[in-house]
Amino acid sequence: MDEFITSIARLAPTGPVVIGGLAVMCRVGGEHRPTLDVDSAFDNDTDIPTTQLLIDQGIAVAGDAAQRILVGAAVIDVIDTFAIDAADLPDDPKGRLFVCAHRYAFEAATPVTFAGDTQTATVGVATVDALIAMKAHALRYASPPRRMIKRSSDLYDLLLLALTTGTANVLENAPWDVRGQCRSALAADLEDIEAAAAVLRRSPVPAINTVDADILATVVADLLERLS
């Protein structure tokens, strides 16, 4: 853990925001499923990918994919974001929600301190609302390979995040109608709640495959109401 936190501390001055599975663990209050990497969002309005900038600065080395780098012991997946002009947003729902959800995650992030035995590192982490928006995109628009591998964990993350919000309205203050985009994506993707529950039951992770279908249906219905 100290080695991992040392890697995060080395990356922190470059301004990342942690998203994905590690951010979900931070926000729901504990480890709930395995995650093998750190998903991150950066502010980058240049034509040079952040991955290349970090490699050029000697902070990282190249990973096994264009958007992946290694910082010490940590595998980092990088998504570049930039300031949004609403007039220039993509027209298609998939591209629009991706751009808006990830930029909102970057702008709304708050600091979290990771502590090991001897090392600490403080870095921005996506909020619960932003994580719900990104999960809505992942669930609705995932590629077939991602759906096959990650759909159960995406559904489980959404369930825990929705429970974490309590009774509050979700994404109420998000710009670019992220709230409406998120509700439309989730309503379409989770129309067949029994099929979603069946995906959870097939997961090899005990915490996921024991989720009751009625609980999933109730939480999803409540979340959609709070996105209205």
Residue-by-residue pLDDT tens, the chain, 228 positions: 888 899 999 999 999 999 999 999 999 987 666 666 899 999 999 999 999 999 999 999 999 999 999 999 899 999 999 999 999 999 999 999 999 999 999 999 999 999 988 989 999 999 999 999 999 999 999 999 989 999 999 999 999 999 999 999 999 999 999 999 999 999 999 999 999 999 999 999 888 999 999 999 999 999 999 999
Q: Any idea where the domains of the chain sit in the sequence?
A: 2-226
pTM as predicted = 0.95
Q: Is 192 helix (H, G, I), strand (E, B) or coil?
A: coil
Q: Is 57 helix (H, G, I), strand (E, B) or coil?
A: coil
d(C-alpha 75, C-alpha 95), whole Å: 26
Q: For residue 81, give both structure tokens.
A: 């974001």
Give the residues across from 17 on adjacent strands.
41, 124
What's the pLDDT at 29?
Answer: 85
